[in-house]
Amino acid sequence: MAHVVSLVAAAWLTLSLMGAAQERTPEERGLAIATEADARASGWHDSTAEMEMTLVARTGDETVRRLHGSSLEVDGDGDRSLVVFDSPRDISGTAVLTYAHPDEADDQWLYLPALKRVKRIAAANQSSAFMGSEFAYEDLVGDELGKYTYRWLRDEPCPGQAATLDCFVIERRPRADTSGYSRQEVWLDSREYRPWKIDYFDRRDAVLKTLTYSAYERHLDRFWRAHDMVMVNHQTGRETRLHWAEIAFGTGLSDADFSTAALRRAR
Amino acid sequence: MTALLAAVIGSAGAVAAQDLAGSGSLEVTGWFQAPLYPGQQRVDVSLMLSPELALEWADQRLLVTPFVRWDQADPERTHWDVRELLWEYAPGNWELRAGVGRVFWGVTEFQHLVDIINQTDFVENIDGEDKLGQPMVQVGIFRSWGSLDLFVLPGFRTRPFPGPGGRPQFPLPLRPELAVFESAAGRGHVDVAARWSHVLGPADLGLAYFRGTSREPRFVVGTDAEDSPVLIPHYDQIDQASLDLSWVAGAWLWKLEVLNRDGAAERFAALTGGFEYTLYGVAGSSTDLGLLLEYAWDERGRFGQNPFNDDVFAGSRLALSDVSGTELLAGLGLDRRTGAGFVTVEGSRRIGNRWRASLEVRGFFAVPPTDFLYPLRGDDYMRLQLERFF
């Protein structure tokens, strides 16, 4: 009898030790990868950029929009951003100020230059198209870590131009039920944790859009930023290309540059 | 003022950036009803030009926005203005502005009750959204407890009105040149204003104070040189305290504007408020539909000259997130006491990269003589505008 007890005890002890050294669950691994990617992309304090957005219709016709903006990292909260539209010329000077919050609705204000009016707007429209493009508002501002639950799917070579690198493929599900997506699949390279491709799945779990990143450049010896992004909508056949020019970090911006008074001065 | 500008520009050295914006437009207006008074037209053509120049260097900026309009039917509508001639200095969490500028206060859509700083350019549009430039010196500071803006407003501008050839007209001839000022300083009176504003989570709150010449004229029946009865605008000295508040809750946006005005001739309170509810992606598309409902109340009731004294406004705003940025706004206003009503429809869309076409239709119905909208009862119009942006 003592033999059996000690055998069971030994077996239990062995199994416990094996459990401690065992692989984490896919959910834990997915969260760990996303957390590392977020950590590597953080700490830039403030940045400014100019962006050109090209809308490509099914027919191949192209329309170009230009805007510029700045962002500020906030300790313990989401980023603040101020975006000013440059073209088309009838909306030039229109600006949007956003205070992102990971756990609640963002605060957002719109500046209408014709009236010199700052207007608080309801930021619940995550799934609305941004300026008629294939990017929804949540696609452009949606990367706060706490907004999703994560699950690691597999490892494979990175897609397209980055085929020489190995990628993690993780699935992330938006926590907010106001999101237009059921889930997303993200390819991050295992060396620098940069996103290379995201597949967006709609509420019926069909692939709706694919976002591809390219032209990565390293800033301040630390931060990788993709200068080109292409969003293809598989269901409409339309495409939007983003090209980022003039990205600068640490230009000395502060809270005062992201106030409603700064919004009123925005050009 | 000119010396200060010259000194600033002279010391600035090379301009870091300059930007040209603004627009020009062609406007055609047609009225549905025959004119009420001789000399008025049925169709009007007008041209407008208003470039905006911005020069920037270091923490400073100079904005220059001249404005000119030529109107075929109404010589009083042919007018020019300096909308902006403003020097701005914003080194960090404070700002200084001096010159001629435009300041907007308010949160509601149908009536901008607390928007007092600038005089309304009433010949441009009867909806009161176009304003004349206002000379000002402004200091603004930004702190954790909010923003505080202090204004000194030297120089007062009287409100322009349509002339005898224009529409709408009042039952008695309006003679702006006979304007009476309560203050002996007249147009030279220096007004002051202050506003504290703060963002508290979902709420944007503003408290403001104004002391000086009321931008709203009070019409008094008088006589001209030939002893004919005419309407004479009186500009009183007033003390006005106001509050503006907006509150966001999901897709709901709640708004309130309240004021209390104290002058020798009258003392009253007024408010306007309501909500805007946005339906995103209606019918599965990326079209947003906003539903608006607002109420306006003026304590003076029928003894005041504000037509919106007990009125309900309902409207909808449709914004297609299409390539052309198509927008449509439709609104209906009803006076609960007199039954007078107005309807407004505005739509616009972009053409190409630099043009925008807009259509504005306004109509007034069931307006009894007791309602202050009565002069507009026969001036329903449709206005088409083609605007070219620089």
Residue B345, H or E segment: strand B341-351
Question: Is the CB of residue B251 less than 8 Å away from at least one CB of chain A?
Answer: yes
- Contact indicator for B316, B292 with CB cutoff of 8 Å: yes
Measured in angstroms, the CA of B255 and the nearest CA of chain A are apart by 10
Give every strand in the sheet of B180-181, ordered side by side. Answer: B180-181, B229-235, B218-223
Identify whether A2 is part of a domain: no
Q: How many domains does chain A have?
A: 1
Residue B288, H or E segment: strand B287-298
pLDDT < 70: residue spans in chain A: 1-2, 4-23, 124-125, 142
Identify whether A15 is part of a domain: no
Q: pLDDT tens across B344-359, in order?
A: 999 999 998 899 999 9
Q: What pTM was estimated for this model as a whole? A: 0.89
How high is the pLDDT of residue B369?
92
Determine, for residues A107 and B202 on separate chains, whether the beta-carbon distance falls below 8 Å. yes
B222's tokens: 């008088």
Pairing of strands B355-365, B381-389: antiparallel
Determine, for residues A115 and B104 on separate chains, whether the beta-carbon distance falls below 8 Å. yes
Residue B279 has pLDDT above 50, yes or no: yes
Q: pLDDT tens across B293-310, in order?
A: 999 999 999 899 999 999
Asked if ipTM goes beyond 0.90, one says: yes
Domains of chain B: 2-389 (2.40.160.10)
DSSP-assigned states of every residue in chain A:
-HHHHHHHHHHHHHHHHHHHHSPPPHHHHHHHHHHHHHHHT----EEEEEEEEEEE-TTS-EEEEEEEEEEE--TTS--EEEEEEEESGGGTT-EEEEE--SSSPPEEEEEETTTTEEEEE----TTSBSTTSS-BHHHHH---GGGEEEEEEEEEEPPGGGTTSEEEEEEEEES-TTSS-SEEEEEEETTT--EEEEEEE-TTS-EEEEEEEEEEEEETTTEEEEEEEEEEETTT--EEEEEEEEEEE-----GGGGSHHHHHH--
Instruction: Tell me which residue has tokens 């449509």.
Output: B328
Calpha distance B55→B13 (Å, rounded): 12
**Which of A57, A90, A115 has the CB atom closest to B389's CB atom?**
A90
Cβ within 8 Å of A, B 314-333: 321-325
How high is the pLDDT of residue A20?
45
Q: pLDDT tens across B185-243, in order?
A: 999 999 999 999 999 999 999 999 999 999 999 999 999 889 999 999 999 999 999 99
DSSP helix/strand/coil, B301: helix
Whole-number average pLDDT of chain B: 93
**What's the CATH code of the domain at A196?**
2.50.20.10
A81's tokens: 């951003």
Q: Which residue of B has its CA nearest to A105?
A: B250
Instruction: Tell me which residue has tokens 């599900």.
Output: A173
Domain of residue A197 covers 27-265
Question: Is the CB of residue A110 less than 8 Å away from at least one CB of chain B?
Answer: no
More confident residue, B31 or A1: B31
Identify whether A17 is part of a domain: no
Determine, for residues B252 and A119 on separate chains, whether the beta-carbon distance falls below 8 Å. no
Radius of gyration for chain B, computed over Cα atoms and rounded to the nearest angstrom: 22
How high is the pLDDT of residue B87?
98
How high is the pLDDT of residue B325?
86
Q: Which chain A residues are within 8 Å of B288, Cβ to Cβ?
A: 125, 128
Residue B4 has pLDDT above 60, yes or no: no
Identify whether A142 is part of a domain: yes
Calpha distance B327→B358 (Å, rounded): 9
* B13 pLDDT tier (thresholds 50, 70, 90): low
How high is the pLDDT of residue A21?
43
